[in-house]
């Protein structure tokens, strides 16, 4: 009976340890080709739908920035409105400036900034690699 109790407690401790330290696969980052610098107008926005998600490229001066187009409120895709220089979420009308900062509405945080790698005239965006299960 004592052996059964010890084995039962060991099994319980093992499951508790799995709960505290789950096996999470490491995040793999890839550089995804997003276009050419010459395709982005000064002060303009270029929206791209990539397999990893929708991305917006902005060009301010000589700098290229990439933002995720996913609203931080409920995950809708924001749209660029050049007449007022704002990103607006169609779901609950959250407003963001060209840098992705919240101007008004319910979004709790800015749009996610993504790293950009430039190779000559080519723009690459660093994004999380999609798993095979997500592609199916």
Fold of 29-135: Rieske Iron-sulfur Protein (2.102.10)
Q: Are 75 and 90 in contact (CB under 8 A)?
A: no
Structure-model confidence comparison of residues 1 and 131, the more confident one = 1
Q: Residue ranges per domain, the chain?
A: 29-135
Q: What is the pTM of this model?
A: 0.69
Per-residue pLDDT reduced to its tens digit, 44-62: 788 888 777 788 888 887 7
The string of DSSP letters for 67-115 reads EE-B-TTT-PBPEEETTTTEEE-TTT--EE-TTS-EEESS-SSPPPEE-
Q: What is the mean pLDDT of the chain?
A: 83
Of the chain, the end-to-end C-alpha distance in Å amounts to 50
Residue 136 — pLDDT band, cuts 50, 70, 90?
very low
Per-residue pLDDT reduced to its tens digit, 83-119: 888 899 988 888 998 888 999 888 888 988 888 888 8
Residue carrying the six token digits 């959250």 = 94
Structure-model confidence comparison of residues 48 and 133, the more confident one = 48
DSSP state of 21: S
Task: Please report the pLDDT score of residue 53 as a whole number.
Answer: 79
SS3 percent helix, strand, coil of the chain, rounded to 5, is 20, 40, 40
């Amino acid at each position: 009976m004592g052996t059964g109790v010890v084995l039962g407690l060991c099994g319980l401790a093992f499951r508790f340890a799995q709960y505290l330290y789950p096996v999470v696969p490491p995040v793999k980052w890839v550089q995804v080709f997003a276009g050419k610098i010459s395709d982005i107008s000064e002060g303009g926005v270029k929206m791209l739908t990539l397999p990893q998600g929708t991305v917006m490229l902005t060009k301010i001066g000589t700098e290229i920035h990439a933002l995720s187009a996913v609203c931080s409120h409920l995950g809708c895709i924001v749209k660029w409105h050049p007449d007022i220089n704002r990103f607006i979420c169609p779901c609950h009308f959250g407003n963001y400036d060209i840098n992705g900062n919240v101007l008004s509405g319910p979004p709790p945080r800015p749009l996610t900034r993504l790293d950009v790698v430039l190779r000559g005239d080519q723009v690459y965006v660093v994004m999380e690699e999609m798993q095979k299960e997500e592609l199916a």
